Amino acid sequence: MLRTHSCGDLRPEHIGKTVTLSGWVQKARNKGFIVWVDLRDRYGITQLVFDEERSPKEVFEKAQSLGREFVIQVRGEVIERESKNPQMPTGAVEILVQELNLLNASETPPFTIEDESDGGEELRMQYRYLDLRRNPMREKLIHRHRVAIQVRNYLSDLDFIEVETPYLIKSTPEGARDFVVPSRMNSGQFYALPQSPQTFKQLLMVGGMDRYFQIVKCFRDEDLRADRQPEFTQIDCEMAFVDQEDILQTFEGLTKHLIEKTTGTTVDDFPRMTYAEAMKTYGNDKPDIRFGMTFGEINDLAQNKGFQVFDQQELVVGIAVPGGASYSRKEIDGWIDWVKRPQVGAKGMVWVKCLEDGTYKSSVDKFFESSDLEQWAKRMNAQAGDALFILGGPAHETRTQLSALRMELGNRLGLRKADEFAPLWVVDFPLLEWDEESQRYHAMHHPFTAPKPEHLEMLKDQPGEVCANAYDLVLNGNEIGGGSIRIHDADLQSQMFDLLGFSKEEAQAQFGFLMGAFQYGAPPHGGIAFGLDRLVAILGGDESIRDYIAFPKNNSGRDVMIDAPAPLDQEQLNELYLNIQTED
Amino acid sequence: MLRTHSCGDLRPEHIGKTVTLSGWVQKARNKGFIVWVDLRDRYGITQLVFDEERSPKEVFEKAQSLGREFVIQVRGEVIERESKNPQMPTGAVEILVQELNLLNASETPPFTIEDESDGGEELRMQYRYLDLRRNPMREKLIHRHRVAIQVRNYLSDLDFIEVETPYLIKSTPEGARDFVVPSRMNSGQFYALPQSPQTFKQLLMVGGMDRYFQIVKCFRDEDLRADRQPEFTQIDCEMAFVDQEDILQTFEGLTKHLIEKTTGTTVDDFPRMTYAEAMKTYGNDKPDIRFGMTFGEINDLAQNKGFQVFDQQELVVGIAVPGGASYSRKEIDGWIDWVKRPQVGAKGMVWVKCLEDGTYKSSVDKFFESSDLEQWAKRMNAQAGDALFILGGPAHETRTQLSALRMELGNRLGLRKADEFAPLWVVDFPLLEWDEESQRYHAMHHPFTAPKPEHLEMLKDQPGEVCANAYDLVLNGNEIGGGSIRIHDADLQSQMFDLLGFSKEEAQAQFGFLMGAFQYGAPPHGGIAFGLDRLVAILGGDESIRDYIAFPKNNSGRDVMIDAPAPLDQEQLNELYLNIQTED
């Protein structure tokens, strides 16, 4: 090693020892007769002293020219520091340097390598290797590693086997777009990169593997929204001979373990909520239950009282905003504008202030009695001093709008605390959702999800009413995992494909191998997949995933550091039997 | 769970308990008044008894129709078995079945699900999910999981951080062919799948990650040889502030740990051999040192004695074959034919029998004295009773031929024992190798490998003589790992690209980001990558990797189970701006 200790190692007990350190120059302060250098590596920072009197002349002279991010190796004695820095683990000592070896010089970096950098996002992406030198970035990657190894050891101890499934598989037009890979050896044919190892993990269950997991890259060629990556990582899991309860128990255990090990927080048993309840109470199938502001529906209280705006709506629903009674007219108008933004899409908002003296003031005072407003307040669990924010409209849209408002209020009121962890299970998802555009049902989870056995009879006549043995694990308002009990019966799977509008031929061409496998003794099975990027971000106290990925793509799917994707030589295209379409 | 115990759990202490088991019918024996069923799951086999007198009538009747690979759930009492089977962990007990629940029927599988199956390779690939039900297959995947988790915990305990590097990167024409991925969002442009995370791990070192590893899929679009896969798994590692010795020590530790933990064998410190020595002594840079038969060069002893076939050769070299003196003429002719096969390519072979009485008999008795042959025998460390097999020709080719012969003899003589582990380091590889076809130097390891500092001066005038700080880890005649100390100096890297025939523009276009990173304080660093597929196979006592991969491709790069690759719809091609070239 080009060092005897790391830059985070040295303590008072090392005083008097001669040590060798290597690292980067964090900063150098030249006082003329003395040069102090903060030497940095992954493990910490140690102060070096080059002293006109006590360091060799040529060493002292060389030290004058050290710039930021130079890589050096030094040898010297650990001495006690005069002005100790109790903030730094190594702050009681410094190294009186006797030998200095310049390992590599550095140009001035394009942004400061400090906890708070002065570099913009695009610049930091381009020089990602410099950005990773900053403590917060490095800590996030180390945190990610720790989460992953916790997952592996926890599941392995429960007899789960990590099995690598293939990356070069077959394209299926169902769902999101696949990334494809032309085959040189099979001209005109393509592999696809997996959107998930779904069918392979089911085949592993058919193959008797009993308990499988894999931390695995998956790929989706979707138009990127902010914070979506074309490649992302899943913790993919499957178990045989289980029912839904077994899966919930097993992965609640894993999630508790991860929260406790990585954050030090203990959590109780996870609450469970049906999809219907989550939608009704939070307007959202991934509710953030760290804070209240649950929905109060007031159709019965607010309709047919002369306020026509409400009368014609499918749903009138509101929330109580803590402390909202003190909002100025301008602040309330700000919130009305906020819900009317096209991204939210509400037509308007009714407000009621629940004043401390027990009276009410509202935008609809003309139409409602104080006693009406009091009942609304009760329905929304409002306290004196709160405001009620109320929307009306078609049920699903209005819930979505009010949910967006609730989340934004939660953010601004500081109710979404990064160090608080509120997981829950959302269960009993509908099996199918109707798609207006294609005029057919789509699988809400995926086409392999099993209907609840007690709903099987409705599959023919009321498919939209059928619930699935499907579940999501929600943490702090984010879906961190989702899964289902799978169909293991070839006939039922075939019936599902019918319902989803697959012809027999399409089903056979795309999933024939799975249907074939079901002929040979498929066991009951089910599973779950976690989004690792999101999970580590939330456990790290963040919601944005990008900093938890070593080399992310930007919103156009480009890696700006290596400048990919890029054109190919025609020679390479010829080998693949491909031409680029030219635009007319 | 659809079971209270697994099929491997039950022991005499469970007698009297009522249990529920689930699994597959391994076999059913119907004696008329009694039906025995062997029930199998991942964990073992348990015998079930359905008895005309002691089981409920409808259960007994249902049991009559159970076929191989049916999936069932049973409930019953654990009873003592009359004729115990000491070979089976559960062989002291059986279950007297009271309830039988058919979970899924099965068609008759296309081959037997036994340790020794009657299915051919192609059929077993097509029904991989059934093949995986066989114990030896399942055990190999479990073994693979165990190796991987040992690797992760061992390296993690040494402060290595597993960092996921991207799969959608940039194509580089250097080396093997890349698999490419057309980008829909960037028309006419392509990502490439990584052949290795080489440049990213170096950037992580520049980024201060200090110790990195990753178990990661890599991709190479090469014409497949037997036992090569287009996607394969590496244990990829890199360390900063190290020299070669640190890497050898660290990964010798890992390899020892893996051998000991997975095989129970202890191994001594790994011998080290230079590339030159390995080639001279074994004709091979990945020698199998589980057995001797080292090369004896006899140019000085065999040339200019009147045997012209030898006189004109660059190299005359042989090995002693244990017990070979007793080979019949026919057997020897068989070996002569073997070395003359086009795959080996020798022109002929000279043999000498070292008889027990101290005399010699050879194919060249006419030309050489007995005393000559005695000296040859000594050079090849032959014992009385051995035969000498001798080849002559151009040095490199002849060594390769003799190495092939030595390995084949090792196999046939049973000297390559699967339960014996003989690792070694091969070091001091040449930096470059001359390519006749392109009339230029190629990097022997890769273009980022550092020359030995003491050879730096030769780089200009005698580049072919320069040795690299490159090393391979060899186990039982297979390269299981290889790596090098990297160049961390932008000027030296630029000089290397010159030597390898890159123009400045090409170097900039392909590796500009790496050269750029080297401007900002790159630390000295180096690493190694292990081939996980091969490593787990060898630790499992096999040389073929295919059974250690859950869903492998065949030799045409096809997955015959899912039938991939496959054609795409024109609509999908249009989205990617691609046309398939039509043949004229």
What length is written for chain B?
584
| Chain A residues whose beta carbon lies within 8 Å of the beta carbon of residue B127 | 520
Which residue of A lies nearest to B557 if distances are taken between CA atoms? A185
- pLDDT confidence bin for B438, thresholds 50/70/90: confident
Least confident of A312-326, A360-374, B120-134, B223-237: B223-237
Give CA–CA dist A290/A415, Å, rounded. 7
Q: Do B162 and A142 touch (CB under 8 A)?
A: no
Q: Is the same domain home to A266 and A150? A: yes
Give CA–CA dist B388/B338, Å, rounded. 15
Q: Is the same domain home to A219 and A252? A: yes
| Chain A residues whose beta carbon lies within 8 Å of the beta carbon of residue B192 | 564
- pLDDT confidence bin for B160, thresholds 50/70/90: very high
Give CA–CA dist A402/B253, Å, rounded. 59
Residue of A104, A133, A238 for testing the chain B interface, max B β-carbons within 10 Å: A104
- Beta-carbon contacts of residue B12 (< 8 Å; ≥ 6 apart): B80, B92, B93
Q: What is the mean pLDDT of chain A?
A: 95
Q: Does the structure's ipTM exceed the value 0.85?
A: yes
Say if B146 falls within a structural domain.
yes
Q: Do A217 and B167 touch (CB under 8 A)?
A: yes
Q: Is pLDDT at A427 greater than 60 in this prediction?
A: yes
Over residues B54-65, mean pLDDT: 96
* CB atoms near residue B230 (< 10 Å): 24
- Beta-carbon contacts of residue B411 (< 8 Å; ≥ 6 apart): none
Q: Is the same domain home to A214 and A312? A: no
Over residues A489-505, mean pLDDT: 90
Q: Is the same domain home to B200 and B301? A: no
Q: Do A129 and B517 touch (CB under 8 A)?
A: yes
Q: Dihedral of the CA atoms A463, A465, A471, A473 (nearest 10)?
A: 130
Say if B277 falls within a structural domain.
no
Q: Do A209 and B141 touch (CB under 8 A)?
A: yes
| Chain B residues whose beta carbon lies within 8 Å of the beta carbon of residue A43 | 210
Q: How far is A421 from chain B (nearest CA, A)?
A: 26
CATH code assigned at A58: 2.40.50.140
Q: E strands of A11-160, at which residues? A: 18-30, 34-41, 44-51, 71-80, 93-104
| Chain A residues whose beta carbon lies within 8 Å of the beta carbon of residue B193 | 167, 181
Give CA–CA dist B19/B2, Å, rounded. 11
Contact present, B103 and A171 (Cβ < 8 Å): no
Q: Give the three-class secondary structure for A221.
A: coil
Query: Model confidence over B66-97: pLDDT tens digits?
Result: 999 999 999 999 999 999 999 999 999 999 99
Give CA–CA dist B502/B505, Å, rounded. 8
Q: Do B164 and A549 touch (CB under 8 A)?
A: yes
Say if A83 falls within a structural domain.
yes
Q: How far is A497 from chain B (nearest CA, A)?
A: 18
Q: Do B132 and A190 touch (CB under 8 A)?
A: no
Task: Say which residue the tokens 């997955």 belong to.
Answer: B559
Q: Is the same domain home to A149 and A263? A: yes
Q: Do B132 and A208 touch (CB under 8 A)?
A: yes
Q: How far is B15 from chain A (nearest CA, A)?
A: 24
Return the H-helix or E-strand segment holding B24.
strand B18-30
Tokens at B73, concatenated: 């759930």
Tokens at B57, concatenated: 């009538």
Q: Do B129 and A243 touch (CB under 8 A)?
A: no
Q: Identify which of B71, B168, B553 has the shortest CB distance to residue A523.
A: B71
Please report the pLDDT score of residue B343 as a whole number.
Answer: 94
Q: Identify which of B182, B221, B581 has the shortest CB distance to residue A577.
A: B581
Say if A125 falls within a structural domain.
no
Query: Model confidence over A72-85: pLDDT tens digits?
Result: 999 999 999 999 99
Split into its structural domains, chain B has a count of: 3
Residue B182's Cβ-side half-sphere holds a number of Cα atoms within 13 Å equal to 27
Q: Do B132 and A164 touch (CB under 8 A)?
A: no
Residue A423's nearest CA partner among A508, A511, A336, A538 is A538
DSSP count for chain A of H helices, then E strands: 17, 23
Q: Is pLDDT at A173 greater than 80 in this prediction?
A: no
Q: Do A564 and B170 touch (CB under 8 A)?
A: yes
Residue A68's nearest CA partner among A102, A34, A37 is A37
Give CA–CA dist B493/B443, Å, rounded. 12
Contact present, A565 and B170 (Cβ < 8 Å): yes
Q: Is the same domain home to A333 and A252? A: no
- Beta-carbon contacts of residue A173 (< 8 Å; ≥ 6 apart): A510, B569, B572
Q: Identify which of B141, B187, B199 has the shortest CB distance to residue A161.
A: B141
| Chain A residues whose beta carbon lies within 8 Å of the beta carbon of residue B155 | none
Q: Do A566 and B189 touch (CB under 8 A)?
A: yes
Q: How far is A505 from chain B (nearest CA, A)?
A: 15
Domain boundary among A415, A448, A473: A415
Q: Identify which of B42, B184, B241 has the shortest CB distance to residue A2.
A: B241
Least confident of A499-513, B276-290, B330-344: A499-513
Tell me if the bond preceding A197 is cis, omega within 30° of 0.
Answer: no
Say if A521 falls within a structural domain.
yes
Residue B21's nearest CA partner among A526, A489, A210 is A210
Share of chain B above pLDDT 70, in %: 99
Which residue of B lies nearest to A562 if distances are taken between CA atoms? B513
CA distances from B303 to A113, A138, B474 (A): 68, 65, 34
Contact present, B258 and B150 (Cβ < 8 Å): yes
Contact present, A278 and A295 (Cβ < 8 Å): no
Say if A336 falls within a structural domain.
yes
Q: E strands of A81-182, at which residues? A: 93-104, 161-162, 180-182
- pLDDT confidence bin for A145, thresholds 50/70/90: very high
Q: Is pLDDT at A584 greater than 60 in this prediction?
A: no
CATH code assigned at B339: 3.30.1360.30
Give CA–CA dist B168/A549, Å, rounded. 14
Query: Model confidence over B551-582: pLDDT tens digits?
Result: 999 988 999 999 999 999 888 899 899 999 88
Which residue of A lies nearest to B556 if distances are taken between CA atoms? A185
* CB atoms near residue B338 (< 10 Å): 17
Give CA–CA dist B242/B229, Å, rounded. 33
Domain boundary among A360, A383, A415: A415
Residue of B131, B167, B520 for testing the chain A interface, max A β-carbons within 10 Å: B520
CATH code assigned at B143: 3.30.930.10
Q: Is pLDDT at A445 greater than 60 in this prediction?
A: yes
| Chain A residues whose beta carbon lies within 8 Å of the beta carbon of residue B185 | 221, 223-224, 556-557
Please report the pLDDT score of residue A583 as a whole number.
Answer: 65
- Beta-carbon contacts of residue A278 (< 8 Å; ≥ 6 apart): A284, A285, A286, A287, A426
Q: Do B567 and A162 touch (CB under 8 A)?
A: no
Residue A468's nearest CA partner among A453, A451, A483 is A451
Q: Is the same domain home to A402 and A467? A: no
Give CA–CA dist A318/A389, Å, rounded. 5
Q: Is the same domain home to A363 and A450? A: no
Which residue of B lies nearest to A213 if distances are taken between CA atoms? B145
Q: Identify which of A193, A224, A580 has the shortest CB distance to residue B578.
A: A580
Q: Is the same domain home to B302 and B234? A: no
Please report the pLDDT score of residue B555 as a whole number.
Answer: 87
Cα B61 versus chain centre, distance = 50
Q: Do A185 and B224 touch (CB under 8 A)?
A: yes
pTM of the model: 0.95
Over residues B155-177, mean pLDDT: 91
Share of chain B above pLDDT 90, in %: 86
Q: Is the same domain home to A219 and A331? A: no
Query: Model confidence over B236-275: pLDDT tens digits?
Result: 999 999 999 999 999 999 999 999 999 999 999 999 999 9
- pLDDT confidence bin for B60, thresholds 50/70/90: very high
Domain boundary among B384, B415, B446: B415
Return the H-helix or E-strand segment holding B361.
strand B360-362
| Chain B residues whose beta carbon lies within 8 Å of the beta carbon of residue A245 | none
Please report the pLDDT score of residue B174 as a whole number.
Answer: 65
CA distances from A273 to A270, A420, A480, A529 (A): 10, 20, 16, 19
Q: Identify which of A103, A132, A513 has the shortest CB distance to residue B209.
A: A132
| Chain B residues whose beta carbon lies within 8 Å of the beta carbon of residue A206 | 129-130
Query: Model confidence over B291-319: pLDDT tens digits?
Result: 999 999 999 999 999 999 999 999 999 99
Query: What letter represents residue B84's amino acid?
Result: K
Least confident of A221-225, A539-543, B364-368, B426-430: A221-225
Q: What is the mean pLDDT of chain B?
A: 95
Q: How far is B102 from chain A (nearest CA, A)?
A: 10
Say if B403 falls within a structural domain.
yes
Q: How far is A309 from chain B (nearest CA, A)?
A: 44
Say if A283 falls within a structural domain.
no
Q: Identify which of A3, A189, A580 has the shortest CB distance to residue B188.
A: A580
Structural domain range at position A255: 139-272+424-548
* CB atoms near residue B63 (< 10 Å): 24
Q: Is the same domain home to A353 and A375? A: yes
Q: Is the same domain home to A196 and A174? A: yes
Residue A401's nearest CA partner among A302, A290, A313, A306 is A313
Least confident of A393-407, A568-582, B1-15: A568-582
DSSP state, residue B119: -
